[in-house]
């Protein structure tokens, strides 16, 4: 099926079909509808190669995803992909491990794929202007901000939840339910990134409620967000002490691994230990028991990130920093004591 066949079947010229497919206004509504019906019926697919050849710029948007087993990013990625396409751009996707350098990966991608813009799905929170000077195109930090760094706010955009405040609220929810012996199993106290920020939110909530932080109840997983390392971390904690009634973890998958470790040590959830986390993944709704968690709005985060990047492409002076709400999703993993 070619454009000639469509024209012939509709009794019009090839250029009329072409005008309709390219959305020129100078064709009557009746003819336009007839042609579109025929295109639909025949399965003809317009070939845009000729048009593409005269495009002088690439239409590529790079997306660097940090942390390959991150289910939250997987849920954002779908929206990001759809949105980039909806704006008429092509997504160039690159996965890196959670300890790799997303800036370098982005810079290489920028040059190799002649990108127009970049979206980082996860990254460090402590960029310096000189580190970022290798990026020569507009970029958006999706799910994080530069709060430990000294980038000028006008040099980049970001869309994220307030990690400190969200961790604070998660901890406060446990306190509100009567818990005072609260453990935290976290990737790292001082990664200059998401783990440090959420850990400080946790500490501040304890402090504001007059609960002394107990070193014995904090366990690090060597910088790792993955389930096996979190499982091991909770096992180490349990070996040291069982003297806690609640546990805070930084992601839903970490919490699921943590609940498994508790269960394997005969600690029932929430009867013996309440568990709370941050993410709001679909899969953790089906955890046994359903995980109580603060929802990072994946779809909104993806939409906003792409929308802001598109504005940055149009207007070189446009930047935006958006903090999204992270509402509580009440599950059955936290009980009042």
Tokens of 145: 């901000």
Query: Candidates 38-46, 138-146, 184-192, 314-322 — which segment interacts with a second copy by CB under 8 A?
Result: 38-46
| C-alpha span between 244 and 217 (Å, rounded) | 8
CB atoms within 10 A of CB 122: 22
* Options 25, 43, 210, 212; binder of a second copy; rule CB under 8 A: 43
Q: Which residues, other chains included, contact 11 with Cβ-Cβ below 8 Å and sequence gap of 6+?
A: none
- Is residue 112 involved in binding a second copy (CB under 8 A)? yes
* Options 7, 17, 92, 167; binder of a second copy; rule CB under 8 A: 92
- Is residue 9 involved in binding a second copy (CB under 8 A)? no
Q: Choose between 93 and 313: whose C-beta lies nearer to a second copy.
A: 93
Q: Choose between 79 and 193: whose C-beta lies nearer to a second copy.
A: 79
Pairing of strands 117-121, 328-329: unpaired
- Is residue 128 involved in binding a second copy (CB under 8 A)? no
Tokens of 212: 């002394």
| C-alpha span between 273 and 264 (Å, rounded) | 13
Size of the residue set binding a second copy (CB under 8 A):
44
- Is residue 185 involved in binding a second copy (CB under 8 A)? no
Q: Choose between 184 and 275: whose C-beta lies nearer to a second copy.
A: 275
Query: Candidates 13-21, 74-82, 202-210, 291-299 — which segment interacts with a second copy by CB under 8 A?
Result: 74-82
Query: Candidates 18-26, 179-187, 193-201, 250-258 — which segment interacts with a second copy by CB under 8 A?
Result: 250-258
- What is the separation of C-alpha 42 from the centre of its chain, rounded to a whole number of angstroms? 40
- Is residue 14 involved in binding a second copy (CB under 8 A)? no
Binding residues for a second copy restricted to 251-280, rule: CB under 8 A: 253, 256-257, 259-260, 263
* Options 2, 90, 128, 241; binder of a second copy; rule CB under 8 A: 90
Query: Candidates 82-90, 161-169, 197-205, 216-224 — which segment interacts with a second copy by CB under 8 A?
Result: 82-90
Q: Choose between 223 and 289: whose C-beta lies nearer to a second copy.
A: 289
- Is residue 108 involved in binding a second copy (CB under 8 A)? yes
- Is residue 47 involved in binding a second copy (CB under 8 A)? yes
- Is residue 91 involved in binding a second copy (CB under 8 A)? yes
- Is residue 120 involved in binding a second copy (CB under 8 A)? no
- Is residue 42 involved in binding a second copy (CB under 8 A)? no
- Is residue 34 involved in binding a second copy (CB under 8 A)? no
- Is residue 162 involved in binding a second copy (CB under 8 A)? no
- Cβ proximity of 254 and 227 under 8 Å: yes
* Options 3, 21, 27, 93; binder of a second copy; rule CB under 8 A: 93
Binding site for a second copy (CB under 8 A): 43, 45-49, 52, 68-69, 71, 74, 78, 81-82, 85, 90-95, 104, 107-108, 111-114, 134, 227, 231, 253, 256-257, 259-260, 263, 282-283, 285-288, 290
């Amino acid at each position: 099926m070619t454009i000639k066949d469509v024209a012939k079947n509709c009794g019009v010229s090839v250029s009329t079909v072409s005008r309709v497919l390219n959305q020129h206004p100078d064709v009557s509504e009746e003819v336009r509808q007839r042609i579109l019906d025929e295109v639909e019926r025949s399965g003809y697919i317009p070939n845009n190669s000729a048009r593409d050849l005269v495009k002088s710029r690439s239409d590529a948007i790079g997306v660097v995803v940090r942390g390959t087993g991150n289910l939250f990013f997987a849920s954002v990625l779908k929206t990001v992909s759809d949105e980039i396409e909806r704006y008429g751009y092509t997504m160039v996707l690159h996965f890196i491990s959670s300890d790799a350098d997303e800036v370098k990966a982005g810079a290489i991608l920028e040059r190799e794929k002649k990108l127009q813009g970049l979206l980082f799905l996860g990254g460090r929170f402590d960029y310096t202007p000189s580190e970022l000077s290798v990026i020569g195109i507009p970029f958006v930090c999706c799910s994080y901000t530069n709060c430990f760094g000294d980038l000028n706010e006008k040099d980049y955009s970001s869309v994220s939840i307030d990690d400190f405040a969200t961790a604070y609220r998660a901890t406060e929810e446990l306190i509100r339910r009567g818990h005072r012996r609260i453990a935290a199993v976290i990737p790292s106290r001082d990664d200059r990134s998401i783990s440090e920020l959420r850990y400080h939110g946790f500490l501040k909530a304890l402090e504001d409620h007059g609960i002394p932080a107990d070193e014995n109840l904090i366990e690090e997983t060597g910088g790792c967000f993955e389930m096996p390392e979190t499982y091991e971390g909770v096992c180490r904690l349990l070996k040291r002490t069982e003297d806690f009634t609640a546990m805070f973890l930084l992601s839903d998958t970490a919490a699921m691994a943590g609940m498994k470790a508790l269960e394997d040590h005969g600690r029932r959830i929430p009867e013996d230990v309440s568990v709370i986390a941050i993410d709001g993944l679909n899969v953790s709704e089906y955890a046994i028991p359903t995980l109580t968690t603060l929802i990072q709005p994946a779809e909104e985060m993806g939409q906003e990130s792409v929308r802001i990047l598109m504005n940055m492409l149009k207007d070189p002076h446009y930047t935006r920093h958006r903090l999204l709400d992270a509402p509580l999703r009440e599950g059955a993993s936290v009980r009042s004591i």
